[in-house]
Amino acid sequence: MRIVFMGTPEFAVPSLEALLKSEDQVVGIVTQPDRPKGRGHTLAPPPVKIVAQRTGIPLLQPLKIKTPDFLDALAAWKPDLIAVTAFGRILHAPILNLPPKGCVNVHGSLLPKYRGAAPVQWAVINGEGETGITTMLMDEGMDTGPMLLQERISIRSEDTAGTLASRLAELGGQLLVETIRRLKAGTLTPRVQDNAQATLAPLLRKEDGVIDWTRSAPSISSRIRGLSPWPGAYTFLGHDRWNIWSAVPKPTRSDEQPGTIIAVTKHSIQVATGEGVLELVEIQTANSKRMTAAQFLAGHRVSMGARLEPGGS
C-alpha cells in the first residue's frame, strides 16, 4: 500500500522506522514545523523530519493543515492509508476521508483510558501498574475512534515518563505494522470505545511540575517520575528552586507539617508529606547539574526543620 506517515516527536520515530522496514511504501511524511530550542532559540527540526531527510522521502511541514494547498499536496501522494503517531494536531474530515483505507493512529494508552496529549505521563503520575498501545481508526474526536489492536505493558516502579515512552514507542511501531498487515488481510474488526470508561490525559504545563507536599509520599514519587523529563517536578526552599528528579517513599511516619525536612545525613534528605516520608534521591538547583543527594549535600547546607514549599518566599 501507499502510506503517508504523520508524526512529530521522538515517540513517533519507531513507528516510522517500522513502516520503512515493512512491505508497504511510505510515499510521504508530514511533521510539524521546526521550533526554537534551547537558550539560543535556534530552530530545530522535529525528530521525524530528521528521519525523512535521511531517507529522502518527500516531506511536508504545514503551518496549518486546513489550507487547500496542504490538502492538494497530501492528495497528490495518493495514499491508500495514513498512519499517525503523535502528530500533535487533530485531523479534520477532508484528511480523514482522503485515504480509502482510512487513518490509523498509534496511541500510548489502553483506550478509552487516557485520551489526550500526555497519556504516558498521566499513567505514571496516577500510579498505574500497566498501560499499553492502542491502534485505532481515527475520527474527528480526541482519540475516540474505533479500536483495532491493543497490547499491554507493565509500568515498572523505577519508570519515568521518559523510560516508559521509549518502550511504548517501540511497541507502537510493531503494533502499527501488525495492524496494517491485518487490515489488508481483512482480519480486523474495529471495536467501538466505551465512552463511559474514558479518562483524559491533558497536555502538561510547566506549572504542573510544582510539588504539593500535602499529598502522600507514594503519590508525590509517582508525580516526580511522571513529570520526567518534562516539565520536571520542583519545589522551593526559601527563594531557591529545587528540581526533584528522583525520590523514594519511606515506610515511616511523621507528624511534622508537610514539606518539612525531618532528617539530613551525608547521603539523605527526608521530607514529611501529607502521608509518609519522602527521601530525595536526585536534586538540581538553578544553574547546576543534576546531583545525587550526597553530591548535593557536599556543596549545600540543608537544615532540619526547614520547609519546602510550592512557591518561593
Measured distance CA(123)–CA(160) in Å, rounded: 10
Condensed to tens digits (0 to 9), the pLDDT of residues 200-236 reads 999 999 999 999 999 999 999 999 999 999 999 999 9
Query: For residue 310, is it within any domain?
Result: no
Among all chains, which residue has been given the C-alpha cell 497528490?
76
Say if strands 269-272 and 277-285 run parallel, antiparallel, or are unpaired. Answer: antiparallel
Give the residue numbers spanning the domain of 268. Answer: 206-299
Condensed to tens digits (0 to 9), the pLDDT of residues 172-198 reads 999 999 999 999 999 999 999 999 999
Query: For residue 307, is it within any domain?
Result: no
Kindly state whether residues 210 and 188 are assigned to the same domain: no
Kindly state whether residues 69 and 94 are assigned to the same domain: yes
99 CB-contact burial (10 Å; exposed 0-12 / middle 13-18 / buried 19+): buried
Kindly state whether residues 289 and 269 are assigned to the same domain: yes
Number of residues that this document lists for the chain: 313
Query: For residue 272, is it within any domain?
Result: yes
Q: How would residue 313 be classed by pLDDT, with cut points 50, 70 and 90?
A: low
Show the CA angle centred on residue 154, arms to residues 150 and 160, nearest 5°. Answer: 115
Kindly state whether residues 181 and 123 are assigned to the same domain: yes
Query: For residue 304, is it within any domain?
Result: no
Q: Which residues of 289-306 are buried (b: 16+ CB within 10 A; e: fewer)?
A: eebebeebbeeeeeeeeb
Condensed to tens digits (0 to 9), the pLDDT of residues 29-48 reads 999 999 998 888 899 999 99
Residue 116 has pLDDT above 90, yes or no: yes
Kindly state whether residues 46 and 169 are assigned to the same domain: yes
For residue 82, give the CATH number of its domain.
Answer: 3.40.50.170
Kindly state whether residues 117 and 75 are assigned to the same domain: yes
Kindly state whether residues 10 and 127 are assigned to the same domain: yes
Condensed to tens digits (0 to 9), the pLDDT of residues 196-205 reads 999 999 999 9
Kindly state whether residues 152 and 92 are assigned to the same domain: yes
Q: Name 265's Cβ contacts closer than 8 Å, sequence gap at least 6.
A: none
Query: Which of the listed residues 139, 165, 197 is the one where a domain comes to its end?
Result: 197
Query: For residue 240, is it within any domain?
Result: yes
Domain total of the chain: 2
pLDDT recorded at residue 287: 87
Element (H, E) at 74: helix 68-76
What separation in angstroms does the CA of 198 have from each of 94, 142, 175? Answer: 26, 11, 22
Query: For residue 34, is it within any domain?
Result: yes
Max alpha carbon distance in the chain (Å)?
Answer: 67
